[in-house]
């Protein structure tokens, strides 16, 4: 039996969530675990395992909402910086296999998300250029293929959270525009 995706359950209204924003493509909600107040998750409504499955239209809506939520979190909650992250797979500690981006307020010395367990190497320029060439070649192939997952809808523009008109709540959900 397939495991139920908690984020899909939230999208369907089957699980409670503190919704910050939602529209036909994306939503943002307060993470129930708050290492620092304001930790917010931004995700597509459609189930996508990770960013590699993302179509351009949903990706544009997702990043627009990430930018809006990041501005709102930075302005609303105490922080000395912010971290944005998306994990893919067990080695990256992905806990829910539904694409989501964390927007997390940070404080100096909080030890949240230590990037390297030890000093990272600094390869020479030739090695770095070789890595870039490999990725450029593959990226060109990927971008030249028609987007299989595209919904065909026009680009969704997510308004700035500070400029959004007040909308009534439906239970814990924001009423559609």
Residues 6+ apart with CB under 8 A from 40: 20, 28, 29, 30, 31, 69, 73, 102, 103, 104
Query: Residues 57, 156: contact at Cβ < 8 Å?
Result: yes
Query: How many angstroms separate the CA atoms of 59 and 62, rounded?
Result: 5
The pLDDT tens digits along the chain (177 residues) read: 458 899 999 999 999 999 999 999 999 999 988 889 999 999 999 999 999 999 989 999 999 999 999 999 999 999 999 999 998 988 878 889 999 999 999 999 888 877 666 777 788 888 877 877 787 787 776 666 655 444 433 333 444 444 443 334 444 444 443
Q: What is the pLDDT of residue 122?
A: 83
The model's pTM: 0.74
Torsion angle defined by CA atoms of residues 34, 37, 43 and 49, in that order, rounded to the nearest 10 degrees: -30
Q: What is the pLDDT of residue 77?
A: 92
Q: What is the pLDDT of residue 145?
A: 63
Domains defined along the chain, listed by start? 6-110+122-164 (3.30.428.10)
Q: Which residues pair with 85 in a beta bridge?
A: 102
How many C-beta atoms lie closer than 10 Å to residue 60's C-beta?
17
Q: Which pairs from 129-136 meet CB under 8 Å and 24+ separation?
A: none
Q: What is the pLDDT of residue 120?
A: 73
Query: Residues 28, 21: contact at Cβ < 8 Å?
Result: yes
């Amino acid at each position: 039996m397939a495991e139920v995706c908690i984020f899909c359950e939230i999208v369907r209204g089957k699980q409670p969530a503190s919704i910050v924003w939602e529209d036909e493509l994306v939503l943002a909600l307060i993470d129930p675990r708050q290492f620092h107040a304001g930790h917010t998750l931004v995700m597509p409504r459609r189930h996508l395992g990770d960013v590699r499955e993302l179509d351009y239209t949903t990706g544009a809506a997702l990043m627009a909402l990430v930018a809006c939520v990041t501005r709102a979190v930075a302005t609303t909650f105490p922080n000395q910086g912010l971290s944005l992250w998306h994990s893919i797979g067990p080695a990256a500690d992905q806990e829910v296999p539904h694409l989501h981006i964390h927007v997390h307020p940070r404080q100096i010395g909080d030890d949240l998300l230590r990037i390297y367990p030890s000093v990272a190497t600094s390869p020479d320029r030739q090695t770095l250029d070789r890595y870039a060439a490999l990725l450029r070649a593959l990226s060109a192939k990927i971008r030249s293929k028609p987007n299989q997952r595209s919904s065909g809808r026009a680009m969704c523009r997510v308004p700035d959270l500070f400029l959004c008109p007040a909308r009534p709540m439906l239970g814990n959900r924001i009423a559609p525009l």
